[in-house]
């Protein structure tokens, strides 16, 4: 069956629909998640999610997954991010030290319906624009531009040889060239310049100190706390090494762990176990690794069975499939009953505060995120099916834009209920 034929069973207009069922229970979903988190970090998670409907949206991927599962689906399955909101895209250094732009968070990645990523991105654009205080017309235009970009880029990838799609990448210099206007172009240039300063070398003096001749993390409880059992870090390091390619394994052999500390990060990750690991080579040069707890994806109850055995392997596998260029030190470890994935921290990251973008910047940034998403879906699946379904008209664009508006309103109501339920009397 081709993509066009699928329109007979799931018309493109069906993607405009949002209908909250009578048994919908977003607060119950969140309570169940909070019960599994590190207890002393739950108030931080609640505080960050309470800030705005957009931050609530960032921390409630499980709620949207349950909602999307009730809606019409095309049946086209590929590897998806599972949490493709605006703040989960950005620039970073490729193994060749190029600055590339791509999806950069894969905690929820699964094989699932491609349109779920598209709808999550569209809704996040609208919510980010509203948080910034932009006019509704500007927010809607940003969503439409992103959806048009996804449509056009997926059609472009569908027409290219598979090997070309596999090697396709979006570098930051390309983002500068394709910026929608001069202001957006200046934003990309600024992001590129700032990214080259965001390295472990630059960060280390801010978060570490010399104590008894040894470099250690400076504690800032509860946001950064040293792990009392250093042997745990060594066990993780040993297990993690076995998941690396031989060349990366050889590089890691030059480093030894000197400290490890639990660190609170993000919004949706708060309450899970995350840490920084500091390693030094024989000359005292640093390597900073981030460890993030890998759990079952929030989407897993609603999608086809996943192929990879552990949550860490799922995250790493999904990232390698979808990203044009992945961290060569990306790996995972399953130690002491906790599965983590491991990557370099602060490796020339470039990402704006998406809730501060003005009209033109939001429209431009959303378009680039949609471009990156189309490239990732094309790399991970069959872009011809998706492109055939979407077509060249505005039908799908209009439908998803309408869905984003309706679901953003739902998120705003959910956020208000969340604040009411978690605010002390």
Task: Quote the Cα angle for 168-173-175, to 5°.
Answer: 75
Which H/E stretch holds residue 130? helix 114-132
Using the predicted structure, report yes or no on whether residue 196 has a pLDDT greater than 90. Answer: no
pLDDT digits (tens, 9 = 90+) for 214-232: 889 998 889 999 898 878 9
Of 20 and 290, which is predicted with more confidence? 290
- pLDDT (tens digit, 9 = 90+) per residue, 337-377? 899 999 988 666 767 778 888 898 999 999 999 999 999 99
pLDDT of residue 177: 66
Identify the residue with better confidence: 176 or 47: 47
**Average pLDDT of the residues of the chain:** 91
pLDDT at position 203: 77
The residue extents of the domains of the chain are: 3-197+350-422, 200-344
Q: Residue 182: what pLDDT?
A: 72
Written as six digits, the tokens of 23 are 């048994």
Residue 186: its pLDDT value, please? 73
The SS3 assignment for 25 reads coil
Class of residue 104 by CB neighbours under 10 A (exposed 0-12, middle 13-18, buried 19+): buried
Rounded distance between C-alpha atoms, residue 239 and residue 233, angstroms: 10
* CB of 3 closer than 8 Å to CB of 385: yes
* 351: Cα separation from own chain's centroid: 12
Give the residue from 331, 120, 129 showing the smallest Cα distance to 243. Answer: 331
pLDDT of residue 398: 98
Residue 391 has pLDDT above 80, yes or no: yes
pLDDT-based confidence at 425, cuts 50/70/90? low
351 close to 89: Cβ distance less than 8 angstroms: yes
Residues 86-90 have a mean pLDDT of 92
Highest mean pLDDT (candidates 122-126, 188-192, 279-283): 122-126
pLDDT over 70 (residue 195): no
pLDDT grade, residue 49 (50/70/90)?
A: very high
Q: Does residue 94 register a pLDDT over 80? A: no
């Amino acid at each position: 069956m081709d993509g066009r034929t699928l329109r007979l069973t799931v018309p493109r207009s069906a993607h405009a629909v949002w209908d909250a069922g009578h048994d919908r229970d977003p607060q119950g979903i969140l309570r169940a998640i909070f019960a599994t988190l590190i207890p002393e970090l739950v108030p931080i998670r609640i505080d960050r999610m309470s800030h705005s409907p957009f931050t609530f949206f960032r921390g409630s991927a499980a709620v949207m997954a349950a909602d999307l599962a009730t809606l019409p689906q095309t049946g086209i399955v590929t590897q998806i991010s599972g949490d493709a909101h605006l703040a989960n895209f950005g620039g970073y250094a490729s193994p060749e030290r190029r600055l590339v732009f791509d999806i950069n968070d894969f905690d929820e990645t699964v094989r699932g319906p491609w349109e779920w990523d598209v709808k999550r991105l569209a809704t996040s654009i609208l919510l980010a624009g509203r948080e910034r205080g932009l006019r509704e017309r500007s927010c809607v235009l940003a969503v439409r531009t992103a959806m048009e970009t996804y449509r056009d880029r997926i059609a472009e990838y569908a027409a290219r040889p598979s090997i070309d799609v596999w090697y396709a990448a979006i570098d930051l210099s390309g983002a500068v060239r394709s910026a929608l206007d001069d202001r957006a172009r200046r934003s990309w240039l600024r992001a590129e310049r700032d990214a080259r300063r965001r390295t472990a070398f630059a960060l280390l003096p801010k978060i570490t100190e010399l104590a008894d001749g040894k470099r250690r993390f400076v504690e800032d409880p509860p946001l950064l706390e040293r792990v009392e059992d250093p042997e745990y870090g060594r066990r993780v390091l040993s297990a993690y090494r076995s998941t690396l390619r031989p060349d990366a394994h050889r590089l890691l052999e030059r480093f030894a762990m000197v400290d490890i500390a639990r660190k609170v990060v993000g919004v949706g990750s708060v309450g899970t176990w995350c840490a920084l690991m500091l390693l030094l080579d024989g000359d005292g040069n640093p390597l900073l690794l981030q460890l993030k707890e890998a759990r079952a994806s929030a989407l897993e109850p609603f999608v086809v069975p996943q192929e990879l055995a552990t949550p860490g392997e799922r995250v790493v596998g999904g990232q390698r499939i979808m990203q044009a260029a992945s961290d060569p030190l990306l790996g995972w470890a399953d130690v002491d009953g906790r599965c983590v994935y491991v990557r370099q921290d602060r490796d020339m990251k470039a990402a704006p505060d998406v809730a501060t973008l003005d009209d033109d910047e939001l429209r431009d940034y959303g378009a680039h995120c949609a471009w990156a998403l189309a490239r990732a879906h094309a790399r991970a699946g069959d872009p011809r099916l998706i492109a055939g379904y979407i077509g060249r008209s505005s039908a799908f664009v209009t439908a998803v834009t309408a869905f984003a508006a309706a679901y953003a309103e739902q998120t705003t109501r959910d956020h208000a209920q969340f604040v009411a339920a978690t605010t002390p009397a």
